[in-house]
Structure 1
Amino acid sequence: MSRVSRRTVVPLLLVLVVVAGIGLYLFQPWKAFTDTAVNEALPTASAPEVKDGRQMKGNPGGMKGKAAGTKGGEPSMTSTRPKDLAEGRFVTHEHGTSGTARTVRLADGGQVLRLEDLKTSEGPDVRVYLSSRAADAAKAGLGEGAVALGKLKGNLGNQNYTVPAGTDLSKFRSVVIWCERFSVSFGAADLAPVSG
Structure 2
Amino acid sequence: MTEPSRPPRSRRRFLRHPATIAGLVVVVIVAGFAAYWFQPWKLFTSTTVDEAPPAATAGQVPGPQVTATGAAVTEVVAQGDLVSQEHPTSGTVQLLRLPDDSLVVRIENLDTSDGPDLKVWLTDAAVSPGLDDAGVFDDGRWVDLGSLKGNRGSANYPVPSDADVDGLDSVSIWCDRFNVSFGAAELNPRT
- Which interval holds the TM-score relative to the shorter structure? 0.7 to 0.9
Q: In the alignment, is the contact (CA less than 8 A) between 1:138 and 1:176 conserved in 2?
A: no
Q: In the alignment, is the contact (CA less than 8 A) between 1:84 and 1:105 conserved in 2?
A: yes
> 1:44: Cα distance to partner?
1.9
> 1:115: Cα distance to partner?
0.1
> For 1:135, what is the secondary structure of its paired residue?
coil
Given the alignment, which residue of 43, 51, 68 partners 1:40? 51
> 1:169: Cα distance to partner?
3.4
Whole-angstrom distance in 1 between the partners of 2:37 and 2:31: 10
Letter in 2 for 1:183: N
Percent of aligned pairs with the same amino acid: 44
Given the alignment, which residue of 125, 134, 142 partners 1:139? 134
- TM-score norm. by structure 1 comes to 0.79
Return 5+ residue gaps in structure 2 as ranges. 1-10, 57-67
Q: In the alignment, is the contact (CA less than 8 A) between 1:88 and 1:189 conserved in 2?
A: yes
Whole-angstrom distance in 2 between the partners of 1:169 and 1:86: 12
- TM-score norm. by structure 2 comes to 0.80
Residues 62-101 of structure 1 mapped to structure 2, 5 A cutoff: 77-101=69-93
Whole-angstrom distance in 2 between the partners of 1:4 and 1:25: 30
Return 5+ residue gaps in structure 1 as ranges. 46-75
Letter in 2 for 1:187: G
Whole-angstrom distance in 1 between the partners of 2:174 and 2:151: 12
Whole-angstrom distance in 2 between the partners of 1:2 and 1:117: 59
> 1:110: Cα distance to partner?
1.0
Cα RMSD after superposing both structures: 1.9
Whole-angstrom distance in 2 between the partners of 1:36 and 1:10: 40
Whole-angstrom distance in 1 between the partners of 2:162 and 2:40: 38
Asked if 1:31 corresponds to 2:26, the answer is no
Residue aligning to 1:17: 28
Whole-angstrom distance in 2 between the partners of 1:167 and 1:44: 21
Residue aligning to 2:176: 180
Query: Aligned residues, how many?
Result: 165
